[in-house]
Amino acid sequence: MFSAFLIKYGEIGVKGKNRFKFEDALVFQIKRVLEPLDRAFDVVRIDGRILVTTDSPLNEIEYDETLVKLKKVFGIVEICPAETVPGMTLDDIKSTVLRHIDENFPDKKITFKVNARRGNKSYPIHSMEINASVGEAILEAFPEMRVDVHNPDIYFKIDIRDSIYVYSKGIKGTGGLPLGTNGRALLLLSGGIDSPVAGYMISKRGVELDCVYFNAPPYTSDRALQKVKDLARILSDYSGKINLHIINFTDIQLYIYDKCPHDELTIIMRRFMMKIAERIARANGCLGLVTGESIGQVASQTLKSLFTTDEACTMPVYRPLIAFDKQEIVDKSEEIGTYETSILPYEDCCTIFVAKHPVTKPNLNIIKLHEQNLNEKIDELIETALDKDEVLSIGV
Amino acid sequence: MINHPIYLDNAATTRVFDEAAAAVQDAMINQYGNPSSMHRLGFEAERTLKESREIFAKLLKCDPSQIFFTSGGTESNNTAVFGSALKYGGRHKHFILSSIEHPSVSEPIRQYVERGWKIDTLHVNRDGFIDLGELEQFMKDREPLLVSIMHVNNEIGTIEPISEAANLIHSMCPTTLFHVDDVQGFGKLNLFPGRAGVDLLSVSSHKIHGPKGVGLFYRSERAKNILPLIYGGGQQEGFRSGTENVPGIAGFAKAALIYQEKLRNAPSKLEELRNLFIEKVTQIEGTKINGPIDTSLAAPHIVSLTVDGVRSEVLLHALEEKSIYVSAGSACSSHKMSHSDTLLAIGLRGDDLDSTLRFSFSIENTKDEIETTVKALREIIPSLRKYRRL
């Protein structure tokens, strides 16, 4: 019965003088995700690890819930569910280890090694002695088990601190860097498969997210908007609280439709999305834009198109999926849990007016020339859209 | 200012009458006994059931013992198909249905296709009417198990010739059962199954301002041996097991009474609303009504309208922005296209399928609301036409 988790982190360990900042951020994020649970947990930093403890063993449901939460914390490399030894004597350790084996390894035909570590050097018995003594007890209790000090199936680890913890398995965490260690970026969230994955990947590097959605009623519906809110909610499990900006884009889109060649609609529309996104980002302290673009996926994502889109804003645009194949993106979206929502069949503003043959090799100069057709009203339309920006706070 | 909502999607569902909602609440809070319980609370619930059953018996001019409460139109339609097939399927492996039946009739019947049954589908003309000649052909020298024809089509409002079909069916084959899905007609049009020669009839509560999740199934004397769809504790003479939904049934009965009363006080109101709407809306260029226009041929509460050059989904949302709620004839998006079987059956093709809306009225709607709606359409349609899909 587990009542603790030893949390291992990777890259943070080598961040030099900033290390404490990263560790503090990780502790903070772990506390944040565990806070909504009914259980109270203690989260403390202990030389190179984080120890999450609670005062009595978790039942199976609580254990699963906690693990699900911890698996969504960026910065964690490995989660080791541990048992707390009820006492400090060698006998206490032995009985906990034996029970642990009995409960977790129904098949006893395994090789093992005991690996004790004294974080608390004042503990009277040396590690080697503990290893030998516990190993002996195991062999006596379970004669089928064998010792293998070089390549064991299972390590039984005994971590001695103010309390003693026993653990034998590690569960992979997401990796990355803890949120709050790298500022904030604005994700262009469409409701498709790609953009939530792009947001996840940037956020995984410790970046907090805001999102902007371009709404086009009556061409898009409340259900399409709800879908985007749901996606932001799923993302917020990983990336913390998200401010979702909802921009009414209809008038701008129709104005472009009126004034510009139809095969350039999408690319011009995207340029204005970038411009608007940049304005929102600057006004909200975001240091970059994030999109789900991937080279060649659609007409507006050829290198020429990306070149043309990119020119519309001066802020860095991060495109973490740029070299991903569609299937890789789909796999990732299934893994992070956004796929089922992304494939709901509601139109978004990018699909309502798509030319049969949109330009795939836009010429920036020509596009800019055609954009001059918009001079009369476009600034005013952009200001109106920004004035009416509706901001929703999503996630805890 | 929040616009007062104009709800013109009454063929989808209706707002529950206040009195019906009160009847539901009263049954939930005060008559919460199980009608099968022997004590007083049980008896009171049983009495509510009995009274409700009598109300419907009067409305349908039948015996209370011929009425069974179900979970709604879908269950009633399923009961008609599976109940008769379970009983008589050994001898008569033949169904006849119209091509515009609701899926809760056509899908159960489709289950028998792969079992090798004969399924004949009656074509409909451009106005949605079946052809009795074709029905005669399908029945000739055969003994179909069940013929299922809806009374009023839910998308274009066509009123099918039920009595004539019944006469034909019974004169051609004495064993064939005739089922009518009356979900859209009940309350608005008179159809008395006993007199019309209908053996099985399905009715739903939430189309007449009653609560959702309740309906009824009428079973004639001739059809009394069909088998139940649901088995259990033997409630409702063993034909429909399960503790009766007393609150739902009480609300359903209340709604039916009120609907009848409102219609009695304004017998031509629905026709007037429909005629007004059709008169005004067809003045807008590039619109056309699907199905019969004449109110003697079409239900008084359903209008199917095709608007050239406008996608119904967009028009629907544009109306929604003005708090006017209607239905689209088909659901379409960039990912998926699903077209209405009825619209296909009456011959709509191509863009017309994606440009068709359904307006369905209730006795609660007003002429003002109709005027406002047409005015909104007049404003919206030209601007939507300007921005066509590429």
Decide if A353 and B389 are in contact by the 8 Å CB cutoff: yes
| Tally of domains in chain B | 2
Categorize the per-residue pLDDT at B330 as very low, low, confident or very high, splitting at 50, 70 and 90. Answer: low
Q: Is residue A192 part of a domain?
A: yes
B1 pLDDT exceeds 80?
Answer: no
Q: Is residue B1 part of a domain?
A: no
Distance from CA of A261 to the nearest CA of B (A): 11
Q: Provide the CATH number for the domain around residue A44.
A: 3.30.2130.30
Tell me, yes or no, whether A144 and A22 share the same domain: yes
Distance of CA A174 to the CA centre of its chain: 7
Using CA atoms, how far residue B94 sits from A39, B90, B108, B112, in Å, is 62, 11, 13, 9
Q: Is residue A127 part of a domain?
A: yes
A325 pLDDT exceeds 50?
Answer: yes
B320 pLDDT exceeds 90?
Answer: yes
Q: Is residue B254 part of a domain?
A: yes
3-class SS at A89? coil
Q: pLDDT tens for residues B125-158?
A: 999 999 999 999 999 999 999 999 999 999 999 9
What's the rounded Cα separation, in Å, for the pair A80 and A61?
Answer: 17
pTM, rounded to two decimals: 0.87
Q: Which helix (H) or strand (E) covers residue B268, if one does?
A: none
Crossing angle of helices A265-283 and A303-310, in 10° steps, is 40
Q: pLDDT tens for residues B198-228?
A: 999 999 999 999 999 999 999 999 999 999 9
Nearest CA-CA partner of B229 in B77, B17, B121, B66: B77
How large is the average pLDDT for residues A216-227?
A: 93
Categorize the per-residue pLDDT at B335 as very low, low, confident or very high, splitting at 50, 70 and 90. Answer: very low
Categorize the per-residue pLDDT at A15 as very low, low, confident or very high, splitting at 50, 70 and 90. Answer: low
Tell me, yes or no, whether A193 and A105 share the same domain: no
Distance from CA of A349 to the nearest CA of B (A): 11
Report yes or no: B31 and B23 within 8 Å, Cβ to Cβ: no
Residue at which a domain ends, from A121, A147, A172: A172
Tell me, yes or no, whether B273 and B367 share the same domain: yes
Please name the residue ranges forming H helices in chain B: 18-29, 40-60, 73-88, 103-110, 132-139, 162-172, 193-196, 246-265, 269-281, 312-321, 341-345, 351-354, 367-386
B317 touches chain A (CB under 8 A): yes
A12 pLDDT exceeds 70?
Answer: no
What's the rounded Cα separation, in Å, for the pair A44 and A13?
Answer: 16
Tell me, yes or no, whether B339 and B204 share the same domain: no
| Tally of domains in chain A | 2
How large is the average pLDDT for residues A355-380?
A: 94
Q: What is the extent of the structural domain holding B306? A: 6-15+267-386
Distance from CA of B314 to the nearest CA of A (A): 5
HEC profile of B8-54:
CECCCCCCCCHHHHHHHHHHHHCCCCCCCCCCHHHHHHHHHHHHHHH
Facing residue for A345 by CB, picked from B335, B389, B390: B335
Q: How many Cβ contacts (< 8 angstroms) between chains A and B?
A: 36
Q: pLDDT tens for residues A239-290?
A: 999 999 999 999 999 999 999 999 999 999 999 999 999 999 999 999 999 9
Residue at which a domain ends, from B207, B235, B261: B261
Report yes or no: A264 and A371 within 8 Å, Cβ to Cβ: no
Using CA atoms, how far residue B18 sits from A111, A184, B69, in Å, is 73, 51, 22
B340 pLDDT exceeds 90?
Answer: no
A111 touches chain B (CB under 8 A): no
Q: What is the extent of the structural domain holding A244? A: 184-394
Q: Is residue A250 part of a domain?
A: yes
Nearest CA in chain B to A263: B390
The residues near A299 (Cβ < 8 Å, ≥ 6 apart) are A266, A267, A305, A358, A359, A360
Tell me, yes or no, whether B43 and B86 share the same domain: yes
Crossing angle of helices A265-283 and A364-371, in 10° steps, is 80
Cis omega before residue A218 (within 30°)? yes
Report yes or no: B200 and B60 within 8 Å, Cβ to Cβ: no
ipTM confidence score: 0.82
Q: pLDDT tens for residues B28-63?
A: 999 999 999 999 999 999 999 999 999 999 999 999
Q: Provide the CATH number for the domain around residue B305.
A: 3.90.1150.10
Decide if A356 and B390 are in contact by the 8 Å CB cutoff: yes
Residue at which a domain ends, from A142, A172, A202: A172
Tell me, yes or no, whether A225 and A158 share the same domain: no
Please name the residue ranges forming H helices in chain A: 19-34, 60-70, 90-104, 127-141, 194-203, 222-239, 250-259, 265-283, 303-310, 326-336, 339-342, 364-371, 378-387
CA angle B43, B46, B50 (to 5 degrees): 135
Categorize the per-residue pLDDT at A14 as very low, low, confident or very high, splitting at 50, 70 and 90. Answer: low
What's the rounded Cα separation, in Å, for the pair A65 and A54?
Answer: 14
Tell me, yes or no, whether B290 and B336 share the same domain: yes
Nearest CA in chain A to B336: A345
**Percentage of the residues of chain B whose pLDDT score is greater than 70:** 97
Q: Is residue A178 part of a domain?
A: no
How large is the average pLDDT for residues A53-66?
A: 94
Q: pLDDT tens for residues A85-111?
A: 999 999 999 999 999 999 999 999 999
B126 touches chain A (CB under 8 A): no
Q: Is residue B29 part of a domain?
A: yes
B334 pLDDT exceeds 60?
Answer: no
Decide if B320 and A351 are in contact by the 8 Å CB cutoff: no
Q: Is residue B189 part of a domain?
A: yes
Decide if B390 and A219 are in contact by the 8 Å CB cutoff: no
Tell me, yes or no, whether A192 and A156 share the same domain: no
Using CA atoms, how far residue B28 sits from A183, A309, B68, B253, in Å, is 55, 61, 20, 15
Tell me, yes or no, whether B316 and B227 share the same domain: no
Q: pLDDT tens for residues A69-89?
A: 999 999 999 999 999 999 999
Going B71 to B324 to B153 to B362, the CA torsion angle's sign is positive
Tell me, yes or no, whether A81 and A103 share the same domain: yes
Q: Is residue A179 part of a domain?
A: no
The residues near B368 (Cβ < 8 Å, ≥ 6 apart) are none
How large is the average pLDDT for residues B245-258?
A: 98
Q: pLDDT tens for residues A17-54?
A: 778 888 999 999 999 999 999 999 999 998 788 999 99
A131 pLDDT exceeds 70?
Answer: yes
